[in-house]
């Protein structure tokens, strides 16, 4: 990270920030060009879970190579100044990289959906078997999580 003072290094603080986010912008590669889409998600034990229709560009990308990156913004506020170069944005965000795997087993799909529901303080049980059949659930095992904050903080990693 070029501006090291904006980095959040404390893993617990990064995970806490990620848990406060409700959506993320998922970056995928289809072999020709990048594809970015907003999804809701759940985070638990070093993995992000999201759901999808069984078919479509998002799922084509995951099945083709599984490469996933994302950014989730917890807070964002435009700061206006009198001069254009004085404008900035205050934010707290988490980025990550990993490999996505489509879950096929109905029990695994239900467990992944339960992670998403827990993340959003919703009910974690009672998934209809017919809905599970027509829903894709993807687990992204993360290899990197990066926290960033602007303005930079000093001392306290609990952003």
Mean pLDDT by 10 residues, the chain (159 residues): 73 94 96 95 97 96 96 84 82 94 96 96 89 95 92 51
Torsions phi, psi for 129 (to 5 deg): -60, -35
pLDDT at position 83: 84
The reported pLDDT for the residue numbered 35 is 96
Residue with tokens 């303080």: 121
pLDDT for 50 equals: 98
**For residue 46, what is the enclosing H or E element?**
none
pLDDT score of 58: 97
Q: Return d(Cα 15, Cα 146) in angstroms, integer.
A: 10
pLDDT given for residue 81 in this prediction: 84
Peptide bond into 146 cis (omega under 30): no
Determine the pLDDT at residue 152.
54
Q: pTM score, two decimals?
A: 0.87
Q: In whole angstroms, what is the distance from residue 115 CA to residue 112 CA?
A: 5
pLDDT at 51: 97
**Across the chain, how many H-helices and E-strands are there?**
4, 8
pLDDT of residue 17: 94
Q: What is the predicted pLDDT for the residue at 23?
A: 96
């Amino acid at each position: 990270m070029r501006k090291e003072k904006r980095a959040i290094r404390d893993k617990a603080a990064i995970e806490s920030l990620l848990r406060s986010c409700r959506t993320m912008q998922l970056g995928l590669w289809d072999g020709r060009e990048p594809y970015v889409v907003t999804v809701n998600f759940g985070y638990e034990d070093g993995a992000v879970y999201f759901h999808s229709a069984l078919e479509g560009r998002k799922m084509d990308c995951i099945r083709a190579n599984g490469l996933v990156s994302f950014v989730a913004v917890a807070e964002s506020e435009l700061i206006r100044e009198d001069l254009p170069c004085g404008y900035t944005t205050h934010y707290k965000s988490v980025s990550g990289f990993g490999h996505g795997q489509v879950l096929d087993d109905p029990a695994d799909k239900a467990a992944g959906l339960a992670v998403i529901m827990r993340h959003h303080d919703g009910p974690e049980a009672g998934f209809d078997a017919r809905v599970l059949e027509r829903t894709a659930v993807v687990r992204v095992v993360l290899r990197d999580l990066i926290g960033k904050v602007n303005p930079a903080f000093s001392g306290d990693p609990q952003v």
